C-alpha cells in the first residue's frame, strides 16, 4: 500500500468505483456550461443580457447555472485531478515522470484550445499540477490552511486585475457593446484555418491569462487531497459528520451565490459587476459547493455502488480526459462553421438542451470502449507519452 496520510490512511492501489463515478459527474457537469462557449458569443457565457436570453426561462437557466453549476463541476474535476496526482505520487511517481505528465497535459490542452475550446482547463491543471507535489506531505489541516491562502491570493489578485481595467474593457468583453458582440460573432463563425492562425499568434498572451487561474485551481486540487487525508472520501466519517459538512458548505455558499446573482440582476447586468461576480467574488463559494457535491455524491454512490447508474458514470469517469475532449468535438460539430453552424442561432435554454448530447454519448460509449480496450485512447496516449519521455516501461 502507499504511504499513510495524516490519519494513517493509505492511498488506494486499485480503482475506487465511487471516485470514478464522481469524475463522470464532473465531466458531464462541465458540459452544461461549456456549451455556451460554443453556442453563443463569449460575452453571453457570463452575461445573459448580452446575448441569447430571449425569455424569462433563459434568465432562470442562467441563475440556476450560476448558483449550482458554473465552476462547481470544474472545481470537482480539479479536486479529483489533485487526488489522482497524489495517488500517483504515493505509488512512486517521481519528479521526472510527474513533470513529463504535466508537460504532455499542457500540450494536449494547447492543441485542444487551438482547435476546439478556447476555455480549455487542462493547461491550468498542468500549471497548477507542477506545484502540487510540494504540498502533498502536508496533513489535512495544513492543506486546509494552504487552500485558504490560495483562495485569498485569487481574490486579491482578481481585485487588482479588475481595478486595472477600463469601463470600455468590461463593456466590450462582458456586456452587450455592439463592437464587442460583432467581434465575438465574427470569431464564432471563423474557419478552422483562421482559428488556428489566430490562436497560435495569441499563445503568449493566453499563457499569462490562464496563469491567473492557477491559485484557485490548486486550492481545489488540495481540497480533494485534504478530504482523502481526513478520512472523508474513504467514507470513514460518520453519517452525521458527512451531513454536517454538506449542510455547512451549503449554508455558507448558497445564500452568498444567490445574493451575488441577484446583485447582477438588480444592477441590470452591469458588465463590471458581471466580471467581478463571475471571475472573483464567487470563487470561494464555488469551492465550497464543489466540496459539498463531492461529499454528497460520494455518500450516495457508496450506498448504490452496484447500480447501473453508478457503473455508467464510473465508466465515463475512467475516460474523463477523453470524454472532456470528445465533448468539445461534439459541440464543435453542432455549432462551428465546419459543422452544423448553429453558433448564435439558439437561445440559452436551447443550448442547455443540446448539452445533453455529449452527456448521453459518453454514458453509452464509455462502457463499450472500456470493455474492448480497457483504457481511454487519450489516457493511454498520455501515460505512454510520459513513459516514453522518461524511458520507463509498463
The predicted-structure confidence for 97-111, as pLDDT tens digits, reads as follows 999 999 999 999 999
pLDDT (0 to 100) of residue 53: 83
pLDDT (0 to 100) of residue 52: 81
In a domain, 128, yes or no: yes
Stretch 145-169: mean pLDDT = 96
In a domain, 70, yes or no: yes
In a domain, 9, yes or no: no
pLDDT (0 to 100) of residue 47: 94
In a domain, 5, yes or no: no
In a domain, 3, yes or no: no
pLDDT (0 to 100) of residue 165: 95
Kindly report the average pLDDT of the chain as a whole number: 91
pLDDT (0 to 100) of residue 392: 66
In a domain, 303, yes or no: yes
Res 64 pLDDT > 90: yes
In a domain, 2, yes or no: no
Instruction: For 270-292, write each residue's pLDDT tens digit.
Output: 999 999 999 999 999 999 999 99
pLDDT (0 to 100) of residue 230: 85
Stretch 81-91: mean pLDDT = 89
Instruction: For 154-164, write each residue's pLDDT tens digit.
Output: 999 999 999 99
Residue ranges making up the domain that contains 24: 17-390
pLDDT (0 to 100) of residue 391: 78
The number of folded domains in the chain is 1
Residues 11 and 2: their CA atoms lie apart, in Å, by 5
What Cα–Cα distance (Å) separates residue 167 from each residue in 141, 164, 194? 41, 10, 29
Res 233 pLDDT > 80: no
**Of 126 and 93, the one with more pLDDT:** 126
Res 6 pLDDT > 60: no
DSSP character for 4?
B
In a domain, 179, yes or no: yes
Amino acid at each position: 500500500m502507499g504511504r499513510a496520510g495524516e490519519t494513517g490512511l493509505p492511498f488506494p492501489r486499485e480503482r475506487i468505483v465511487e471516485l470514478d463515478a464522481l469524475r463522470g459527474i464532473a465531466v458531464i457537469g462541465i458540459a452544461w456550461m461549456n456549451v455556451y462557449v460554443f453556442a453563443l458569443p463569449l460575452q453571453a457565457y457570463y452575461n445573459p443580457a448580452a446575448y441569447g436570453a430571449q425569455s424569462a426561462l433563459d434568465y432562470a437557466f442562467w441563475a440556476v447555472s450560476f448558483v449550482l453549476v458554473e465552476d462547481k463541476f470544474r472545481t470537482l474535476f480539479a479536486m479529483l485531478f489533485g487526488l489522482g496526482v497524489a495517488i500517483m505520487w504515493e505509488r512512486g511517481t517521481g519528479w521526472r515522470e510527474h513533470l513529463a505528465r504535466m508537460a504532455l497535459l499542457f500540450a494536449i490542452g494547447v492543441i485542444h484550445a487551438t482547435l476546439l475550446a478556447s476555455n480549455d482547463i487542462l493547461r491550468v491543471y498542468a500549471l497548477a499540477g507542477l506545484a502540487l507535489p510540494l504540498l502533498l506531505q502536508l496533513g489535512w489541516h495544513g492543506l486546509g490552511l494552504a487552500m485558504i491562502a490560495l483562495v485569498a491570493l485569487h481574490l486579491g489578485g482578481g481585485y487588482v486585475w479588475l481595478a486595472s481595467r477600463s469601463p470600455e474593457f468590461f463593456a466590450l468583453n462582458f456586456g452587450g457593446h455592439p463592437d464587442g458582440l460583432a467581434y465575438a460573432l465574427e470569431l464564432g463563425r471563423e474557419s478552422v484555418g483562421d482559428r488556428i492562425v489566430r490562436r497560435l499568434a495569441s499563445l503568449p498572451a493566453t499563457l499569462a491569462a490562464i496563469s491567473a487561474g492557477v491559485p484557485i485551481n490548486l486550492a481545489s486540487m488540495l481540497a480533494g487531497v485534504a478530504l482523502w487525508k481526513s478520512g472523508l472520501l474513504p467514507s470513514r466519517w460518520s453519517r452525521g459528520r458527512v451531513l454536517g459538512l454538506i449542510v455547512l458548505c451549503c449554508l455558507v455558499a448558497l445564500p452568498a451565490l444567490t445574493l451575488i446573482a441577484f446583485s447582477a440582476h438588480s444592477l441590470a447586468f452591469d458588465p463590471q459587476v458581471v466580471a467581478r461576480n463571475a471571475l472573483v467574488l464567487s470563487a470561494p463559494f464555488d469551492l465550497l459547493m464543489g466540496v459539498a457535491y463531492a461529499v454528497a455524491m460520494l455518500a450516495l454512490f457508496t450506498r448504490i455502488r452496484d447500480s447501473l447508474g453508478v457503473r455508467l458514470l464510473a465508466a465515463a469517469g475512467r475516460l474523463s480526459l477523453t470524454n472532456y475532449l470528445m465533448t468539445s468535438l461534439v459541440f464543435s460539430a453542432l455549432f462551428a462553421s465546419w459543422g452544423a453552424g448553429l453558433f448564435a442561432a439558439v437561445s440559452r435554454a436551447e443550448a442547455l438542451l443540446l448539452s445533453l448530447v455529449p452527456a448521453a454519448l459518453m454514458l453509452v460509449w464509455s462502457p463499450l470502449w472500456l470493455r474492448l480496450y480497457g483504457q481511454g485512447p487519450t489516457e493511454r496516449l498520455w501515460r505512454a507519452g510520459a513513459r516514453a519521455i522518461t524511458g520507463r516501461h509498463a
